[in-house]
Amino acid sequence: MPKQSIIEVLILVSRYVFVIFIYIFLWAGYKGIIYERKNEIHGYNNKVFEQRIFIIFIHVFSFIILMASSNDIKEIEEIAKLGIYSLVFIIAAIILTSLIYKKSDAILWNSMLFLMDIGIIMLQRLDPEAANRQIIWYGIGSILMLFIPLVFMIIPRFEKFEYVYLMSGWILLLSPFVLGEEQFGARNWIFIGKYSFQPSEIVKFLFVFYLAASLRKYNSLKDIIIPTIMSGGYILVLVAQKDLGGALIYFLTFLILIYLRTSSSLLFFGGLGGASLASMVAYKLYSHVQVRVEAWLNPWKDMDYKGYQITQSLFGIGTWGWMGSGLTRGYPKSIPVVKTDFIFAAICEEFGNLFAIGIILIFLLMILRGVMIAIKCNRVFYSLLAVGAINLIAIQAFLIIGGVIKMIPLTGVTLPFISYGGSSVITSILIIGILQWIQSFYETREEVEE
């Protein structure tokens, strides 16, 4: 059989294998939760192991297809190197997280690694140089994450530093006005040589830590006045920087934590009403918001300009249907900013819509695990911190996936763990690290303090 025919058969088979394996991965995760609740450790460990086997299988199979689809020997060697490096990263991450976070949530780790692996596969398909940089960002984020337990053990009472979080956040958030440059319509980037980062990504941590520390002392409505004013200030700064996606993430995180702490439906729905009015004002003030809303309402009216991004995304999602074109057989590079904002559309095109739904379900699995961690906490600070952390992931994933499939207007945020990016990727990894620390160590901390 000719080489090309073998490749075509391999890709055809992969369209079904990838879909089957992502749902087996999900089933193993949900089955593992059932075993965990029954305290059946052996069954839980088996499901965790199965998930890891599926991650490695999809990784190896994908890189075999990527190599087989190339006729350039040098390119094949580069693909093989990245495949090996990223496989070593996955295995090392599994081992090191198990050693350092001894009581951590293995299903949450596996979900993160699955998404990161899909990210590296898609970036290799879209932009090999970006894929090589991404694996470095994954490594940096993971190394920093491994130090989280040490930092938390050295500093005894993180809830006591609310004003440190607040002032540090203000300094970082205001820095783009002095040092920043405008990119994609938002002035929230700082460039250092050929590298850039978004201070607002770092401030996400400080924001959640500040809210958890300040709201833990809630006794009456007057106790939320200062946190509300400070949160409003953060959000207004982001709006001034034209980072409306970031502003929305901050606002929804604040609103959810306020509701959980006060149980006030009036505050919650009042906040949503206020956000609706603010959105109308933003539409009037910012031309790029007007373009995004008009493109969302009717992208077909101006396909060559205002609606170009979303129409190309919808073409990519809809052309190949449920099973996709097969890895390397689609045209995802025709989608604008596909490495960052629209990578979910590229996944839909080549892996298929069934696989993409599986990606959404993995995010839901991560959210479920985050909520379960929050429920286990017997101290308000850690509970609020866990909810705030997982909400950052959940809201960001909803905003970008919703924008890509035309459920909501585009907001310009990235897909956690999958999209290309330095500060965004590192932040997402550290968020999971904080959740895992809460899961692993807060009980030990309680025993020591008592």
DSSP tag of 94: H
Q: Where do the domains of the chain lie?
A: 3-148
The token pair at 310 is 């979303």
This prediction's pTM:
0.90
Confidence (pLDDT) at 14: 84
The token pair at 254 is 């604040």
Provide the Cα torsion 346, 418, 409, 386; round to 10°.
150
Q: How far is CA 45 from CA 42, 97, 222, 272, in A?
A: 5, 15, 47, 42
Confidence (pLDDT) at 303: 72
Q: pLDDT tens, 269-286? A: 888 888 788 777 777 777
Kind of pairing between the strands at 180-183 and 186-192:
antiparallel
Name residues of the chain where pLDDT drops below 50: 443-444, 446-450
Q: Report the side by side order of strands in the sheet with 195-197.
A: 180-183, 186-192, 195-197
Confidence (pLDDT) at 450: 41
Contact indicator for 380, 352 with CB cutoff of 8 Å = no
| Residue type at position 85 | Y
Strand residue runs (E) in 212-343: none
Confidence (pLDDT) at 449: 46
Contact indicator for 389, 148 with CB cutoff of 8 Å = no
- List the beta bridge partners of residue 191: 196
Confidence (pLDDT) at 224: 83
The dihedral built from the CA positions of residue 12, 14, 17 and 21, taken in this order, carries a sign that is negative
Q: Pick from 214, 209, 236, 233: which is nearest to 224 by CA?
A: 214
DSSP tag of 330: S
| Three-state SS at 326 | coil
Produce one character per residue of 242-268: b if its CB has 16 or more CB atoms within 10 Å, e if not.
bbbbbbbbbbbbbbbbbebbbeeeebb
The dihedral built from the CA positions of residue 310, 311, 316 and 322, taken in this order, carries a sign that is positive
Contact indicator for 282, 291 with CB cutoff of 8 Å = no
Confidence (pLDDT) at 267: 81
Confidence (pLDDT) at 184: 57
